[in-house]
Structure 1
Amino acid sequence: MDLTILYRGPLASCDYDCPYCPFAKRRDSRAQLTADRAALERFATWATAQREDRLSLLFTPWGEGLVRSWYRRTLAELSRLPHIHRVAIQTNLSCRTDWLDTADLDTLALWCTFHPGQTPYDRFLAKCRDLATRGVRHSVGVVGLPEHLEQARRLRADLPAHVYLWINAAEGHTYTDAEAEQWSALDPLFPYSRHPHRSAGLPCRTGESVISVNGEGTVHRCHFVRSELGNLYDGSYRSALRPRACPLTVCDCHIGYVHLETLPLYDVFAGGVLERIPATLPGGG
């Protein structure tokens, strides 16, 4: 079967300190970094050895993974395996990019976020242009706060036309119709992010063909539903895979609601669900 796995290990340290970030940041100790590395290597060993499924893997660390050598190495190695359909990671793109020379770029992809105030604009743009020159599949995005609007407009103008710029609705922020129109002019898919999606009782691919795994191998249907389906490493999760309705009232995060069967997003992002790249660029770009 085709199985999508969202992996999130214990890594929580980040080189940025964004005030709007919903994730608790901390400076990981050497012991914590060692534990994260061991957890990632265990997951990669499992993914390398298993042959029951064609895997699509999205790494969603609390912190920034690509500044750590073990994430760069693991993504490159996994990308070269024939049973891995896609391997992607969410990143602030502060890392070096020469490691991409060792990756299979037909498999690897990056979900990149620009954080104004955390890195110089020109430095981030240069990284994006480097990715485009290398032929790396990637999307680029910004959190839709009012103070980010002009930077987002500048970024859209400066990015290559084939690179999708997404806008995430800021957590807890309410948008007027006029504000939403401004963001939608940059990202015509912004309406999907603007409001939380009603999900209670609705069919979702999570728990059937999509699962979430933590550093200990505990399997959940997604990052936002805490009931356990079993463990990845003893195989106990497999008997729990089946169609499921969402138990939550709403889903307000792209990595969750993209899997709702009541939304058309698997068609919108066909071939690029994990890296957030639409099959056809919105607006005909």
Structure 2
Amino acid sequence: MDLTILYRGPLASCDYDCPYCPFAKRRDTPEQLRADRAALERFTAWAAANTGDRLSVLFTPWGEGLVRSWYRRALTELSRLPHIARVAIQTNLSCRTGWLAEADTDTVALWCTFHPGQTPYDRFLAKSRELAALGVRHSVGIVGLPEHLEPARRLRAELPEHVYLWVNAAEGRSYTDEEATEWTALDPLFGYSRHPHRSAGLPCRTGASVISVDGDGTVRRCHFVRAELGNLYDGSYRAALAPRSCPLAVCDCHIGYVHLESLPLYDVFAGGVLERIPATAGPVRIRRGGSPLRLTSPPG
């Protein structure tokens, strides 16, 4: 079967101190780092051995993973396996990029976030250009705070043309239509992030073809629903995989609502769901009122 896995181990340390993130500048103890490494290596070994499924993997650590050698190694090794359709990670891109020369660029991808004030703009832009030169698929994003608007405009103007710039609505922030228009000019798909999506009772791919796995191998339908489906390593989760509706009132995070069947995002991001890359680098047609409609140009 085709199975998408969102993996989040115990790693919770980050080298940035973003004011909007609860894990900013947290330090893991050496024991915690060893536990995270062991958990990731166990998961990687399982994924490598599970050749009966076609797997897509997105690492979503609370902290920054790519400054740790075991995450770089996991992406490199998994990218080379024929039954791995995609392996991607969310990252602030503070790491070096040369290691990606050892990965299969047809499979590996990065979901990168620029955090103004945490790293020099020119350094981040140079990293994106390095990824482009290596042929590594990646998206670049920013949190939609007022003070980030000008850096975002500069990014859109200076990023490689084919690199998609996404904008996440800031948590708890309400956007006026004028503000939303400014952000939509940079990310035509901002309308999907602007408001939480009603999800209660609606069909979602999580729990059927998409699962969340933690460092102990506990399987849940997604990061946001705590009910357990079983364990990855004893195979007990398999019997629980089935179509199901969402038990939550709303879903307001992209890694959650992208899997809602009530939204067209599997078509919008076809081939790039995990790394948040639309199916085309061309323009996106926008409905009146600013909500995204559909991609209009063929894949590049």
TM-score by length of 1: 0.98
* 1:139 aligned counterpart, secondary structure: strand
CA contact (8 A) 2:258 2:266 kept: yes
2:175 & 2:75 partners in 1: Cα distance? 37
Write out per-residue CA displacement over residues 97-146 of structure 1, whole angstroms, 9 at most, x where no aligned residue: 11101100000000000000000000000000100111100000000000
1:99 aligns with 2:99: yes
The Cα of 1:51 is off from its aligned counterpart by 1.8
Cα gap change, 1:23/1:196 in structure 2, threshold over 3 Å: closer, same or farther?
farther
Q: Which residue of 2 aligns with 1:170?
A: 170
User: Per-residue displacement from partner, 1:168-221 (whole Å, max 9, x unpaired)?
Assistant: 000011100000000000000000000000000000000000000000000000
Is 1:219 the counterpart of 2:246? The answer is no
The amino acid of 1:44's aligned partner reads: T
In the TM superposition, what is the alpha-carbon distance from 1:24 to its structure 2 partner?
6.7
1:136-175 equivalences under 5 Å are: 136-175=136-175
Q: Percent identity?
A: 82
Aligned to 2:34: 34
Aligned position for 1:187? 187
Distance 1:282 1:223, change over 3 A: farther
Residue 55 of structure 1 corresponds to 55
Gaps of 5+ in 1: none
Matched, 1:277 2:269: no
Q: Deviations over 1:38-95 (max 9, x none)?
A: 0000000000111221000000000000000010011100000000000000000000
Instruction: Please state whether the residue corresponding to 2:283 is helix, strand or coil.
Output: helix
Please state how far the C-alpha of 1:26 moved relative to its aligned partner. 2.2
Alpha-carbon distance, 1:281 to partner: 2.7
Q: Given that residues 12 and 25 in structure 1 are in contact (C-alpha distance below 8 angstroms), is that contact kept between their aligned partners in structure 2?
A: no
Does residue 11 (structure 1) correspond to residue 5 (structure 2)? The answer is no
1:252-271 superposed matches below 5 A: 252-271=252-271
Alpha-carbon distance in 2 for matches of 1:274, 1:235: 24
Measure the CA separation in 1 of the matches of 2:216 and 2:151.
Answer: 39
> What does residue 129 of structure 2 align with?
129
The separation in 1 between residues aligned to 2:187 and 2:133, in whole angstroms, is 23
Residue 251 of structure 1 aligns with which residue?
Answer: 251
Residues 204 and 261 in structure 1, CA contact (< 8 A), matched pair in contact too:
yes
Aligned counterpart, 1:83: 83
1:67 maps to: 67
The residue type paired with residue 135 of structure 1 is G
- Of 20-29 and 200-209, the range deviating more from structure 2: 20-29
Aligned length: 285
Letter in 2 for 1:157: A
1:205 maps to a residue whose letter is: R
CA distance in 2, matches of 1:226, 1:23: 20
TM-score of the aligned structures, taking structure 2 as reference length: 0.94
Structure 2 residue matching 1:116: 3-state secondary structure? coil
Q: Secondary structure at the match of 1:106?
A: coil
Match for 1:161: what amino acid?
A: E
**2:19 matches 1:2:** no
Asked whether the equivalents of residues 17 and 24 of structure 2 are also in contact (C-alpha less than 8 Å), the reply is no
Task: Judge conservation of contact 2:67–2:94 (CA < 8 Å) in 1.
Answer: yes
1:239 is aligned to 239
1:280 Cα deviation (Å)? 1.5
CA distance in 2, matches of 1:230, 1:239: 9
Partner of 1:197: 197
